[in-house]
């Protein structure tokens, strides 16, 4: 299919540019510059111009996304796409009439410059799809996948605010005291993963054995990705449906390269190694958690300054850098409050988010006790306890 060749050509050009620029002076051209170059290339090459411009632009956008993933440390550097191996393209800006059902099992999709293409339905096409990806699998079958992001979850209207502390040892600690762990590989899967990695290192380049080992590794990675995605979907839906306001640390400010959670207490060697191993994977999970939460609870997610969330006592508001007894325990030396360090941080985030939300007139009232659903505007004179008087920086 021409679209695949075009998308691959554009992608490979972008890979080549990145490779050339790596040793060079400035950064490689970004998407905007590449889009301009694409316009020029289309003027020059008739076969490229004969293709769909949206397919080609999308390949550039996909590449920009892949590079962003690489720089964030969550993905490998994007590599060459080969004919026969990487066949596929993505189409965006789908109009409502561009997908139609022809029978119970068959439907058609409008592909620019190709016309109507028939495909078999394996599941219903969701309403309001805007984009799709066409791919060919290893056995030569073509697949079409429609992208669909579930819409926002209505606010419960209960005035509750949640603070979420994302961390390495505990994936997400909630101000309610819940400690959530993002699923990983099982012990058996992890063993198999390491075994396969060793096999891969020994396998000759280009050998059939190497390809088989790679496939097995990719299957394990895909399984892990699916499991994590599923966890993120469930967790964000529960938060969006259970709380009017959800506070998160603004991780753009927080340096993830600092020692895990900024505790000065000596973490055990195993902990440090594990944290290092998990950090890159978790970083992507944290990003996705925030992104999906913002989709599901638009205008209800408050990002707070993470400066002192781990040092401040959530009970008395005193900042105490030495209150961290260990990785897991926060013991305030002023009010003798003791608790899980991550939950303490989550409660600080909750209090800051409440204060922010009250300032921005997002419905946020006094905590969990007023669980009666109500949709009135918050009373202007009634600020949640602790808000505005805590001495914590509010942004
Ligand atoms: Zn205290």
Report how far ligand 1's centroid is from the alpha carbon of 316 (Å): 4
Angle at 262 between CA 163 and CA 305, to 5 degrees: 40
pLDDT in tens, 64-117: 777 766 665 556 666 666 665 566 677 776 777 777 877 887 777 777 766 777
**Of 128-137, 188-197, 348-357, which gets the smallest average pLDDT?**
128-137
pLDDT at 287: 82
Tell me the pLDDT tens digit for each residue of 351-394: 999 988 887 533 333 333 333 333 333 333 333 333 333 333 33
In 167-259, beta strands by DSSP E: 172-174, 179-180, 245-249
Give the rounded percent of residues in the chain with a pLDDT score beyond 90: 23
Give the helix/strand (H/E) hosting 142: strand 142-147
CB 332 within 8 A of CB 315: yes
Ligand 1 midpoint to CA 371 (Å) = 27
Q: How far apart are CA 306 and CA 253, in angstroms?
A: 7
CA pair distance 42, 393, nearest whole angstrom: 52
Residues with Cβ–ion distance below 5 A, ligand 1: 313, 315-316, 332, 334-335, 337
CA of 336 to the centre of ligand 1 (A): 6
What is the whole-number distance in angstroms between the Cα of residue 313 and the centre of ligand 1? 5
pTM exceeds 0.75:
no
Share of the chain above pLDDT 70, in %: 64
Range among 9-13, 52-56, 167-171, 227-231 with highest mean pLDDT value: 227-231
Active site residues: 165, 249, 342
Mean pLDDT of the chain: 73
Residue 116 has which token pair? 């109507």
Q: Are 78 and 70 in contact (CB under 8 A)?
A: yes
The answer to whether residues 28 and 21 touch, using CB atoms and an 8 Å cutoff, is yes
pLDDT band, residue 239 (cuts 50/70/90): very high
- Greatest CA span in the chain, whole angstroms? 75
Angle (CA) 259 265 266, round 5°: 75
Across-strand partners of 117? 109
> Per-residue pLDDT tens for 280-333?
556 667 888 998 999 899 999 999 988 888 889 999 988 888 887 787 899 998
For ligand 1, the distance from its centroid to the CA atom of residue 49, given in whole angstroms, is 67
User: How far is it, in rounded angstroms, from Cα 196 to Cα 187?
Assistant: 14
What pLDDT score was predicted for residue 26? 47
Taking the C-alpha atoms of residue 184 and residue 42, their distance in angstroms, rounded to an integer, is: 45
Selection from 352, 379, 347, 385 nearest residue 366 by Cα: 385
Handedness of CA 226, 82, 2, 19 (dihedral sign): positive
Pairing mode, strands 245-249 and 301-304? parallel
Q: Chain-centre distance of CA 323, in angstroms?
A: 32
How far is C-alpha 145 from the geometric centre of its chain's CA atoms?
20
């Amino acid at each position: 299919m021409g679209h695949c060749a075009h998308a691959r050509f554009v992608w490979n050009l972008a890979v080549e540019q990145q490779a050339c620029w790596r040793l060079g002076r400035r950064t490689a051209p970004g998407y905007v510059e590449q889009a301009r170059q694409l316009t020029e290339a289309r003027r020059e090459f008739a076969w490229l111009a004969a293709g769909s411009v949206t397919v080609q632009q999308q390949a550039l956008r996909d590449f920009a996304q892949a590079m962003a993933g690489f720089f964030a440390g969550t993905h490998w550097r994007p590599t060459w796409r080969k004919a026969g191996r990487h066949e596929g393209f993505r189409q965006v800006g789908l109009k409502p009439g561009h997908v139609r059902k022809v029978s119970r099992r068959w439907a058609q999709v409008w592909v620019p410059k190709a016309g109507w293409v028939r495909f078999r339905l394996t599941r219903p096409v969701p309403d309001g799809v805007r984009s799709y990806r066409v791919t060919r699998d290893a056995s030569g079958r073509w697949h079409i996948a429609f992208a669909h992001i579930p819409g926002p979850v209505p606010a419960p209207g209960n005035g509750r605010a949640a603070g979420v502390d994302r961390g390495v040892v505990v994936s997400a600690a909630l101000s309610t005291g819940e400690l959530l762990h993002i699923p990983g590989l099982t012990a058996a899967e992890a063993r198999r993963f390491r075994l396969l990695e060793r096999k891969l290192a020994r396998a000759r380049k280009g050998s059939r054995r190497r390809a088989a080992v790679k496939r097995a590794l990719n299957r394990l990675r895909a399984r892990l990705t699916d499991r994590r995605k599923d966890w993120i979907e469930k967790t964000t839906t529960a938060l969006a449906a259970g709380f009017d306001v959800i506070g998160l640390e603004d991780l753009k400010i927080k340096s993830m390269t600092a020692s895990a959670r900024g505790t000065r207490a000596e973490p055990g060697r195993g902990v440090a190694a594990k944290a290092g191993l998990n950090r890159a994977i978790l970083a992507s999970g944290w990003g996705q958690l925030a992104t999906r939460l913002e989709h599901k609870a638009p205008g209800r997610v408050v990002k707070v300054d993470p400066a002192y969330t781990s040092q401040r006592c959530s009970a008395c508001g005193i900042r105490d850098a030495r209150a961290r007894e260990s990785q897991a325990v926060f013991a305030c030396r002023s009010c003798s409050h003791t608790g899980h360090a991550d939950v303490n941080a989550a409660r600080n985030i909750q209090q800051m988010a409440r204060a922010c939300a009250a300032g921005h007139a997002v419905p946020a009232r006094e905590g969990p006790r007023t669980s009666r659903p109500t949709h009135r505007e918050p009373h202007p004179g009634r600020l949640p306890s602790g808000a505005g008087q805590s001495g914590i920086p509010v942004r």
